[in-house]
Amino acid sequence: MSDQNQENQRPAESAKPTELEDMLAHAAPDSASDPSEIYDGLHVGDVDEIVEALENGEIHRVRELVAHMHFADAADLVERLSPDLRRALMLAAYDVLDADFYTELDETVREEVVEIIGLDAMAEVVADLDTDDAIGIIDELDAHEQLQVLDAIPAADRTLIEEGLAYREYSAGRLMQRAVMTVPQFWNVGETIDFMRQIADEDEWETPNVFYDIVVVDPRHKPVGTIPLSTLLQSKRPVPVTEIMHERMKLIPVDMDQEEVAFLFRQRDLVSAPVVGDEGRLVGIITIDDVVDVIDEEAEDDILALGGVREDDLYSATLDTTRQRFSWLFVNLLTAIMASVVIGFFQGSIEQVVALAVLMPIVASMGGNAGTQTLTVAVRALATKELTSTNAMRQIGKEILVGCINGIIFAVLMGVVAWGWFGTPGLGVVIGLAMIVNMIVAGLFGAIIPIALDRHGIDPAVASSVFLTTVTDVVGFMVFLGLGAWLLM
């Protein structure tokens, strides 16, 4: 109880909280009264404490607080601070932060942080990281910054990182950890365990810190099987490794797209999988933690693309966000003008029956929404490979039927409303017919557009919705106003 009071008495960031601010202060799960109920790593109390220390210039307290945080929490904290406080915190405490802190940071924030702490400090951080994480960070730097950071890294590590950077972006080669625990085919369980104990003290770049599977390799370094550590531990010492290894393991080609890697891990519930290069030789291993990041990214990309946003711009500067969002809005303006041109054809009819202008957005809106439902299901099913050539025709047929049934129901509903509203039964017939046509069109195009884009190698999440709304707007206005002009004039 006294703890809670103490928290309430902390000065708020703003002196006089308005009602809106008060509402927002409760908007996020941080402020849940029972911290065990909802966990999000950081608690408002911790953030307040550090913000207070930063504002009062208490460098030692800041350093102490940050040093005691988990690196993932520290990354969340730094992301949430305002740019000024972020700068103050990094300058005060960058050297007490774990190297992994930098891998957890959002890209945009990390760029800012690199500028604050400088390239020499970054080089030290990178040298402490696993190859895959080091590559991820170096890859985002400018060419001259990359050289400067690489120069400051010990030669052996540098070679590994440079090799990693040579693989195509978004490929398995970029995701993988270079250090793999391998044993030859002719060993047994006892020899394997002894070997692992023996190399535990060696240079960390050569042996992985944490691993889940051991890869059995032939003399040409080709993987012949994998052994989960739990199987190894549950086997007797004299058992040959070939007897307990999984031969039906999944090998990942080094140039496989990360999306395919994620699909494979999910479909097979893998925790790690060996990566092979030319001639099937082992070059690295991918572990589930990196794949979880990919799964997150892919889902995020789809969500954002469907909403017309190119990348997560939460931490971007206002002008960058404005610029990034502009292009999508510009495309939308063109399609909106196209729809207006269609309306323009029917100016005469609208002047005579102004009710047409009042009702026309309903037809377009219902088509757009029905189409978006279909499109969302299709985009998701394409991403998870549930929608394939085997069932595509069946799905399109189903969507047309769904559009048809719902179209008829809404035609009756809206027909009655329009009749009652304007007292003209003909208007009810016109909007009803237009509704049926547009909802069938919405179902058809909502399914076909993403499938066709996918077939042409275009990400259906990015481009589908602009095509769809163009179709449902143009068809909606055209059919409704056309029928109106024909039946009501």
Site for a copy of itself in 229-248 (CB under 8 A): 229-236, 248
Beginning with the edge strand found earlier in the chain, give each strand of the sheet holding 182-184 in spatial order. 182-184, 213-217, 223-228
Tell me: does residue 358 bind a copy of itself (CB under 8 A). yes
> Quick one: 291 or 430, whose CB is closer to a copy of itself?
291
Tell me: does residue 269 bind a copy of itself (CB under 8 A). yes
Calculate ∠ Cα 258-264-267, nearest 5°. 140
Tell me: does residue 96 bind a copy of itself (CB under 8 A). no
> Quick one: 50 or 121, whose CB is closer to a copy of itself?
50
Q: Which stretch binds a copy of itself (CB under 8 A): 57-65, 89-97, 111-119, 296-304?
A: 296-304
> Quick one: 60 or 455, whose CB is closer to a copy of itself?
455
> Quick one: 61 or 325, whose CB is closer to a copy of itself?
325
> Quick one: 2 or 18, whose CB is closer to a copy of itself?
18
The answer to whether 358 touches 431, Cβ cutoff 8 Å, is no
Binding to a copy of itself, residues 362-391 (CB under 8 A)? 362, 364-366, 369-370, 372-373, 375-377, 379-382, 384-391
> Quick one: 145 or 170, whose CB is closer to a copy of itself?
170
Binding to a copy of itself, residues 416-435 (CB under 8 A)? 417
Tell me: does residue 406 bind a copy of itself (CB under 8 A). yes
Tell me: does residue 258 bind a copy of itself (CB under 8 A). no
Binding to a copy of itself, residues 297-336 (CB under 8 A)? 299-300, 302-304, 306-309, 312-314, 318-319, 321-322, 325-326, 328-329, 332-333, 336
Tell me: does residue 463 bind a copy of itself (CB under 8 A). no
Tell me: does residue 4 bind a copy of itself (CB under 8 A). no
> Quick one: 147 or 329, whose CB is closer to a copy of itself?
329
Give min distance, CB of 462 to a copy of itself, in A: 13
Sequence-distant (≥ 6) Cβ neighbours of residue 131 within 8 angstroms:
157, 160, 161, 164, 177, 178, 179, 205
Q: What's the Cα-to-Cα distance from 358 to each of 347, 350, 422, 483, rounded to whole Å? A: 13, 9, 10, 15
Q: Which two tokens stand for residue 254?
A: 């080094």
Element (H, E) at 201: none
Place of tokens 């990182």: 161
Tell me: does residue 398 bind a copy of itself (CB under 8 A). yes
Could you give the 3-state DSSP secondary structure of residue 173? helix
- Return the C-alpha torsion angle 271, 277, 282, 286, nearest 10: -20
CA atoms within a 13 Å half-sphere pointing along the CA-CB vector of 466:
21
How many whole angstroms separate alpha carbon 469 and alpha carbon 369? 9
Total residues contacting a copy of itself (rule CB under 8 A)? 148
How many whole angstroms separate alpha carbon 284 and alpha carbon 176? 6
Q: Give the residue ranges of DSSP H helices in 177-317.
A: 189-199, 229-233, 241-244, 258-268, 288-306
Binding track, positions 35-64, relative to a copy of itself; x by CB under 8 A:
-x-xxxx--x--x-----------------
Which position among 57, 118, 154, 344 is part of the footprint of a copy of itself (CB under 8 A)?
344
Sequence-distant (≥ 6) Cβ neighbours of residue 143 within 8 angstroms:
none
Give min distance, CB of 459 to a copy of itself, in A: 13
Q: Which stretch binds a copy of itself (CB under 8 A): 123-131, 141-149, 155-163, 205-213?
A: 205-213
Name the residue among 121, 122, 64, 119 with its Cα closest to residue 89.
64
Which position among 49, 52, 79, 128 is part of the footprint of a copy of itself (CB under 8 A)?
79
How many whole angstroms separate alpha carbon 193 and alpha carbon 186? 14
Tell me: does residue 5 bind a copy of itself (CB under 8 A). no
How many whole angstroms separate alpha carbon 75 and alpha carbon 113? 11
